[in-house]
Amino acid sequence: MAKAKTNKTANGVKKSGGGELHQTTTSDAQTLTTNQGTPIADNQNSLKSGARGPTLMEDFILREKITHFDHERIPERIVHARGSAAHGYFEPFKNWSKLSKAAFLSNPKKRTKVFARFSTVAGGAGSVDTPRDVRGFAVKFYTDDGNFDLVGNNIPVFFIQDAIKFPDLIHSVKMEPDRGFPQAASAHDTFWDFVSLTPESTHMLMWAMSDRAIPRSLRHIEGFGIHTFRLVNADGESTFVKFHWRPSIGAASQVWDEAVKTAGADPDYHRRDLWESIDKGDFPEWTLSVQAFDQKTADALDFDILDPTKIIPEEVVPLTPLGRMVLDRNPTNFFAETEQVAFHPGHLVPGIDFTADPLLQGRLHSYLDTQLSRLGSANFHEIPINRPVCPMRNFQRDGHMRMQVPEGRVNYEPNSLDPASPRENPVRGFASFPDPDAGPKTRQRPESFADHYSQARQFWRSMTPPEQGHIVSAFTFELSKVVTVAIRTRVLGHLDLVEPELGERVAAALNMTGMADDITPAVEPRDDLPPSPPLSLVAKAPATIKGRTVGVMVTAGFDSRLLASLTAALKREGAALKLIAPKIGPVKDDKGGKHEPDMIVDGGPSVLFDACVVMPSEEGVGDLLEMASAINWIRDAYGHLKALTYVDAAAPLLAKAAVEPDVALGVIDLDGKKGLDDFIAAAKKHRLWDREKLVRPPV
């Protein structure tokens, strides 16, 4: 493991072994205290049993801080407030009892009911779907041994290493408390002030500034458990695992300008897409995989598996596919199900267990405490969406909103008055895996957590040139919204440590070349980590339009045979088609047939579609030439790098939009000999990246 060092910078700021920056001296008037006035000596680390041991319940500072944070909003969730969800099922590919005794992983013929909720983190319930943000990915498995909640995000790492810092992180990214804005945005001073003083956030910042944070849809996101967990088999043998969800149609994103315009055109874009896909029978599907490894492998890694700011590259530990999840039913009632569902990483079943990851340890208190506040009762498990499908038998009684009516005089155990009452079961019951890393009580960040830049550098080098350009643009946009110059120079110092090229490009874009702070890392970043292709969305994107939507702009008298051919071709590929017309109401084709448009041009901008077709008639193109929204429809499709095909009658529209035909760049004449085939091939690329240098020269 790399050794951490303690040092001081020129501005009198000290870096501890964990790498966080803080003042070296504090007056009595500045001393941080608990709500009871107790002075706090360490606000960076929770109290653990040994540096790598589990967090202790006696940490009253952690519990007070997290409990207060959990109760800051009523009744809306503090984080992940804006969510969308669906019912479905999970089925394993085979019997995984060698890995885990969890019953839902043992029978490939048995389907386990699930309820999955996807969410943004920073915004409130009334915010939009497409901001730059982390997406929550939470799945409740209703197993025969109780509910198992796999609660994660669409990014495999996190901003912080210890749960005691979670309230600080969220306070910094939420609306600034004196002014109540910005909503659902990290592009402001308080967020960048916090992360620039918290070097452990650097790796997560690379992911958050990448295209991962602006997904094409909820059906196109990956999911991760973030922490290292354990699978335990019937013989008591433990295997470390990292959980991964991979969408069957591939992961995909928007470009930034497109995401911004989508928010204006349809604030419910992701929610609507998920609902409509399930409603029409195009069921989203994910493969659940694990990276499974033993203690020997963990010890050989040059980072700590308990550090939630690190990934294990798939080249080191490949994915093992366990099974698939299919979402096939929309909620019946949004509030009763999507809003009232209560996830908690402490909802485990026999065969799955925790590790001493200090972020996970704090979540085990926080999630339960949050549900007590938000749902108003310790009986939230009796709400139908949270109720297990297996029997619940215990002696917990009464409380607000109790729904069950337990009978009998016995409400305790052991007892002799009711021999039929429930008893503990050493054979079937959950047994915690004995963690060997317990040690003396300490508030300490292990030295093995101190490298904050090496994997961030590896992430940068794993991106394709377009993705690197997007990361530079994202940092530039976010920092341009930061008013305090000292925060910008501090962030630039961190980016120089990630990769000098990254720091130089962002500094040049901000007109701040040479102004980066000189920051000494706790551990020098490594320069020998190879690129990891699975980290790149573009490099691993499948050539498919399955699950995508193609927008077709038509006018009266359009070519009916061409539309029929296009519809058939898209159906074969598993894609959907939506008609866009100048006005609502039936549109007649060249044979007199009537077609109901799905949207009008003003209400159906091209940002809502994955590929675009311009198919007016000779007599109808004049109407479109007079519509600014029709010209912008084409300009945006081109600028957002989407496959764009047209009929000859649309040539004046393309000319007015300053778009030139070019098969290589995905602007294709549909009337040509191979027009339809060329369009399908271009659409399967998702984006025509070679076009980007023409519309958005790299920063």
Residue 391 is predicted with a pLDDT of 86
The Cβ-side half-sphere exposure at 543, using a 13 Å CA radius, reads 5
Measured from the Cβ of residue 428, the count of other Cβ atoms closer than 10 Å reads: 11
Residue 167 is predicted with a pLDDT of 95
DSSP code string of 569-635: HHHHHT-EEEEEESSSS-EEBTTS-EE--SEEGGGS-GGG-SEEEEE--TTTHHHHHT-HHHHHHHH
Helix, strand, or coil (residue 564): helix
Dihedrals φ, ψ of 230, to 5°?
-120, 140
Domains of the chain: 60-185+213-386 (2.40.180.10), 452-535 (1.20.1370.20), 549-695 (3.40.50.880)
Q: Which of 494, 13, 15 is nearest to 5 (CA)?
A: 15
Q: Which of 74, 71, 110, 70 is nearest to 90 (CA)?
A: 110
Residue 438 is predicted with a pLDDT of 66
- End-to-end Cα, the chain, rounded Å: 37
Let me know: does 538 contact 466? Beta carbons within 8 Å: yes
CA Rg value for the chain: 27
Dihedrals φ, ψ of 246, to 5°?
-125, 125
Residue 386 known to be catalytic: no
Q: Which of 590, 575, 530, 589 is nearest to 680 (CA)?
A: 575
CA quadruple 512, 517, 518, 523: dihedral, nearest 10? -110
How far, in whole angstroms, is CA 682 from its chain's centroid? 28
Let me know: does 134 contact 158? Beta carbons within 8 Å: no
Residues 6+ apart with CB under 8 A from 457: 498, 499, 525, 526, 527, 529
Catalytic residue among 80, 188, 220, 347: 80
Residue 30 is predicted with a pLDDT of 77
Residue 153 known to be catalytic: yes
Q: Which long-range contacts (CB under 8 A, 24 or more apart) does 662-668 make?
A: 664/690, 665/690, 665/691, 665/694, 666/641, 666/642, 666/691, 667/638, 668/643, 668/644
Residue 3 is predicted with a pLDDT of 40
Q: Which of 46, 39, 26, 33 is nearest to 165 (CA)?
A: 46
Residues 6+ apart with CB under 8 A from 314: 291, 532, 534
Let me know: does 534 contact 314? Beta carbons within 8 Å: yes
Residue 35 is predicted with a pLDDT of 76
DSSP 144: T
Let me know: does 56 contact 163? Beta carbons within 8 Å: no
Provide the sign of the torsion angle of the four alpha carbons 76, 81, 84, 88, taken in this order. negative
Residue 2 is predicted with a pLDDT of 41
Measured from the Cβ of residue 281, the count of other Cβ atoms closer than 10 Å reads: 7
d(CA 104, CA 101): 9
Catalytic residue among 153, 154, 330, 632: 153
d(CA 518, CA 175): 30
Instruction: For residue 83, give the amino acid letter.
Output: G
DSSP 534: G
Let me know: does 260 contact 299? Beta carbons within 8 Å: no
Residue 7 is predicted with a pLDDT of 36
Instruction: For residue 432, give the amino acid letter.
Output: S
d(CA 134, CA 148): 23
Compute the C-alpha angle 264/269/275, nearest 5°.
Answer: 155
> What letters, b where the CB count within 10 A reaches 16 and e where it falls short, cover 181-217?
ebebbbbbebbbbbbbbbbbbbbbbbbbbbbbbbbbb
Helix, strand, or coil (residue 525): coil
The Cβ-side half-sphere exposure at 326, using a 13 Å CA radius, reads 9
Q: Which of 357, 307, 451, 309 is nearest to 19 (CA)?
A: 451
d(CA 16, CA 447): 10
Q: Which two tokens stand for residue 109?
A: 């013929």
Q: List, run by run, the mean pLDDT of 10-residue segments along the chain (699 residues).
A: 37 42 60 79 88 86 84 76 96 98 96 98 94 97 94 98 96 95 95 97 98 98 98 96 98 96 96 97 98 97 97 98 98 95 93 95 92 87 92 84 87 88 85 75 90 98 97 98 98 98 98 97 96 96 96 97 96 96 95 96 96 97 95 97 97 96 96 93 96 87
